[in-house]
Chain A
Amino acid sequence: MKRNALVFVALVVAIMAMLASGKYLDRTRRHGALKLVGDVQGVTAPDFSLVSLDGRKVSLSEFRGKAVLLNFWATWCPPCKVEMPWFVDLQRQYGKDGLVVLGVAMDDSEPATIAKFASSMGVNYPVLLGTDKVSDDYGDVQYLPTTFYIGRDGMIVDKMTGLLDRKDIEGAVKKALSTTYRPVSVQQSQAEAEMKTKSAAGKETTQ
């Protein structure tokens, strides 16, 4: 009886593993390995280099030390339109505190069409032209709008898919702004200071 139960549990575990691997293999086959799958909170946001509507190359790493709201959207997505005025307001309100809103247009439309649309929506933040690679790097972004909230340290603090309330969005922005950034040089000097302290303490005890 015990043995039967064990076999049953093993079967269930095996089936669940197969489901997960089947799904992963399918997505991998279609899009290549995905960098962000499952719960992405606390994961470093993948860096990218995308072209903005005004022709500049924009990388996520440029904004280390800032909180980033990374919004994937498209001109053919009516729910995405609802959020855009909120992002405009949030950029205006929290820009001075270190918020950077970045829009990533997942459109096949011409950049001029996207620019015209963004202008009509009063967008005051950079709009970047999305690619399959950035979509895949962020976990195969299919469902629009999808927004990642990235802390000052480059870690993802939240991910929201679909249209949500403005207060939820503002809450995630505040969460991203509340993170702290320690530049590598500061981290190194702190580590060095800690090592010196330990080493001094060691010398004292040996004397």
Chain B
Amino acid sequence: MKPIAAVISFVFLLAGLAYGQGMDNKPPVIVAPVGTVQIHAGATKDVELDFRIESEFHINSHTPHSPLLIPTALKLTGPEQVMVADVKYPAGRDVTFSFSPDEKLSVYSGDFSINALLKAPATTPAGTYPLKGELRFQACDHSACYPPRSIMVDFQVKVVK
């Protein structure tokens, strides 16, 4: 085999394996990169976290109309130097689907944002602190639903004096 053919084969092999291994695992929701958030010690900061839902899917809002439905929820935990004081969710959109014409579901679809209010105590030393968490959601399309799953949400918080 000529070298060029060998290289092409190798590239396709890697691409094939990568595609095959990742194709079933792709979540229908992604989070936009947050970058580093800067906050003054003793102050609060509102951080907007942006999410995108794949076009054919919807997920329950944070306040679905039935207790059986799984709400979208963001859990963020950080070090004691940076506290998550509050999490604000957008209101869901009441939608009727073909699979349930008599019932309105409160859902998010397309792009939506969740706001996290961060607080750095005055005693927090200057420095960069990691904030880690996850968004838990349960997605459906026009005819079926997927089990609840989570995606990672993490970013850095830089505390300045």
A→B interface (CB under 8 Å): 7, 11, 14-15, 18-27, 30, 74-82, 106, 108-109, 113, 117, 142-145, 161-164
Contact = CB atoms under 8 A, between A and B. Distances in A.
B8 A22 contact: no
Q: Interface centre among B25, B99, B105, B141, by most A CB within 10 Å?
A: B99
Interface of B: 1, 5, 8-9, 12-13, 16-25, 68-70, 97, 99-100, 103, 105, 138, 140-141, 143-148
Contact of B144 (A18, A20, A75, A145): A145
Nearest to A135: B147
Contacts of A26: 20-25
The DSSP consensus for interface residues of chain B is mixed
Contacts of B100: 78-79, 81-82
Q: Which 4 A-B pairs have the closest CB atoms?
A: A22-B20, A18-B16, A162-B143, A162-B144
Contacts of B146: 142-144
A30 B25 CA distance: 10
Nearest to A108: B148
B21 A76 contact: no
A118 B69 CA distance: 15
Nearest to A140: B24
B151 to A, nearest CB: 16
Nearest to B23: A23
A76 B69 contact: yes
A108 B100 CA distance: 23
B12 A78 contact: no
B144 A163 contact: yes
B70 A23 contact: no
Nearest to B102: A82
Nearest to B64: A76
Contacts of A113: 68
B65 to A, nearest CB: 11
Contact of B147 (A14, A81, A109, A142): A142
B99 A78 contact: yes
A9 B16 CA distance: 16
Contact of B143 (A24, A79, A109, A117): A79
B23 A7 contact: no
Nearest to B68: A75
8 contacts: A11-B9, A18-B13, A18-B17, A20-B20, A22-B19, A26-B24, A78-B100, A142-B147
Contacts of B9: 11, 14
A26 B24 CA distance: 8
Given A11-B12, A14-B9, A18-B16, A78 B145 contact: yes
Nearest to B67: A113
B101 to A, nearest CB: 9
A156 B9 CA distance: 39
A76 B19 contact: no
A80 to B, nearest CB: 7
Nearest to B60: A76
A43 B45 CA distance: 59
Given A76-B69, A78-B99, A106-B147, A11 B8 contact: yes
B14 to A, nearest CB: 9
